[in-house]
Amino acid sequence: MPSASQRIPPLVRPLISERAKRTLDLVEKFVNEDCIPADDIAEAQIGEGKQRWTTVPAVMEDLKLKAKSLGLWNMFLAKGHYKEGAGFTNLEYSFMCEQFGRSRTASEATNNSAPDTGNMELIAKYGSAEQKKQWLEPLLEGKIRSCYVMTEPNVASSDAKNVQLSIVKDSDHYVLNGEKWWISGAGYPTCKVYIVLGKTNPNHPDPYKQQSMIIVPAGSPGITVKRMMHVLGYDDAPHGHAHLIFKNVRIPASNLILGEGRGFEIMQGRMGPGRIHHAMRSIGAAERALDYLLARANASHKMAFGKKLSEHGVIIERIAQSRIDIDAARLIVLNAAAAIDAGDAKTALIEIAEAKVFVPKVALQVVDWAMQAFGGEGLSQDTPLAAMWGHLRTVRIVDGPDEVHLQQLGKRENRRAREVQLMIQKQLDETDRLFEKYRVARGVDREVPRANL
């Protein structure tokens, strides 16, 4: 089997450094040989009941030690953007991120795990020296974990302007009151810090200046975990998705990031790379699902109607379509990574949105086909497929549902309509001129649809 670096698409091969290729192959080996076998151990170690939210799986600490010893740490912090990282471009990191997506433990084992990655980027970019010292350093070392606290239960959070948690200045503190849910990672016992979006200036005339971002130590008095949200029957322990209540939570004013009213700005600065990380991990998941589909389709002891599944044309077509769609999806994400490398997340908005919409649909389809090939077993706890499906289904929603991205992308594309209309009009005028020049009749049955454009 060619290694991960040998499987880099021909189009992209010239753009990946030798060092990145070597690291990529090391990542692949580490994921396949260490992380994937540890996935079930980590799950078993957290056990059942309330214990699931108080246990750090021992195997995870061992994986982290090994990852560090291999030099596989913090690769997500992109070269040229952050000095703290491993010096890879977003494009190069994308391939590593794909490998992480094959396993449930690999991202965390190498300290490339959401939401910490986005939070570390955020603090590195916008945090004060003091904030960096207190929170960024232990995060970079993998000693603590963090949450990103934005979504609220009582508003449509796909539109961040709707956020309502109140942040009120009270001398040298801020007081937080409100409710948040889907706070991923808050279940983790080592989660020590929340980055919270709320409103300091609810009456500011500019709706994009009402929000602020503040660093809140986990366990601050007044924070209650109301419950953990499920995803299709999964609690996703030990990370989990918490429903939190903030009641008169007092936080030192120095914890505010950048200043009052700059929450929206920070939020937008945080967005880009994280979305392509999700996307590349989804591709890794899709590749692993395709592996499982291949394995099951060629199982000689589970013949259907005298044939292996892979001898049925319908199954072969699905395998082929999976190959095609995964490869297309990967290129779409790599293009977004290259766009970020060439500029930043803002200049890469279109490419990121394309990846955001395209990838989970493909990955869900591949996993669905793999589940179907396994029959009931594919929906059960006996393969990684069902949990993958649950996770990938959330990707169509987190960071904004598909529908919102499609509307934004469509409106952006639609902006060039006027120019297009003018170009077509000019072409039709030129056609008129040519008809006269060549003295040829237009034909009774053809009409230039000028007025219709």
Which CB sits closer to a copy of itself, 129 or 417? 417
**Is residue 245 a contact residue for a copy of itself (CB under 8 A)?**
no
Which CB sits closer to a copy of itself, 221 or 233? 233
Per-residue mark of binding to a copy of itself, 265-304 (x: CB under 8 A):
-------------------------xxx-xxxxxx-xxxx
What minimum distance in Å lies between the beta carbon of 44 and a copy of itself? 5
Of 272, 252, 281, the residue nearest 122 (C-alpha):
272
Binding span for a copy of itself by CB under 8 A among 37-45, 110-118, 132-140, 166-174: 37-45
User: Which letter does DSSP use for residue 146 in this model?
Assistant: E
DSSP secondary structure string, 342-361?
A: HS-TTTTHHHHHHHHHHHHH
Write out the binding residues for a copy of itself, residues 73-102 only, by CB under 8 A: 91
**Is residue 52 a contact residue for a copy of itself (CB under 8 A)?**
no
Write out the binding residues for a copy of itself, residues 182-221 only, by CB under 8 A: 182
Cα angle vertex 346, ends 185, 343, to 5°? 110
**Is residue 143 a contact residue for a copy of itself (CB under 8 A)?**
no
Tell me how far CA of residue 408 lies from CA of 217, 379, 414, in angstroms.
Answer: 35, 35, 10
Write out the binding residues for a copy of itself, residues 343-372 only, by CB under 8 A: 348, 350-351, 354, 357-358, 371-372
Residues in the chain: 453
Sign of the C-alpha dihedral computed for residues 287, 330, 240 and 140 taken in this order: positive
Please select the residue that binds a copy of itself; options are 120, 196, 229, 392, rule is CB under 8 A: 229
Count of residues in contact with a copy of itself, rule CB under 8 A: 156
Binding span for a copy of itself by CB under 8 A among 12-20, 73-81, 126-134, 197-205: 12-20
Which CB sits closer to a copy of itself, 250 or 442? 442
Binding span for a copy of itself by CB under 8 A among 29-37, 76-84, 132-140, 193-201: 29-37
Residue with tokens 């003018």: 422
Which CB sits closer to a copy of itself, 205 or 410? 410
- With beta carbons less than 8 A apart as the criterion, state whether 80 and 93 touch: no
Residues 6+ apart with CB under 8 A from 104: 39, 42, 43, 384, 387
- Other CB atoms within a 10 A radius of the CB of residue 135 amount to 22
**Is residue 25 a contact residue for a copy of itself (CB under 8 A)?**
no
**CA 431 – CA 266 distance, rounded (Å):** 51
What minimum distance in Å lies between the beta carbon of 268 and a copy of itself? 16
Cα angle vertex 310, ends 309, 315, to 5°? 80
Write out the binding residues for a copy of itself, residues 372-431 only, by CB under 8 A: 372, 374-377, 379-383, 386-387, 389-390, 393-394, 396-398, 401-411, 413-414, 416-421, 423-424, 426-428, 430-431
- Other CB atoms within a 10 A radius of the CB of residue 164 amount to 15
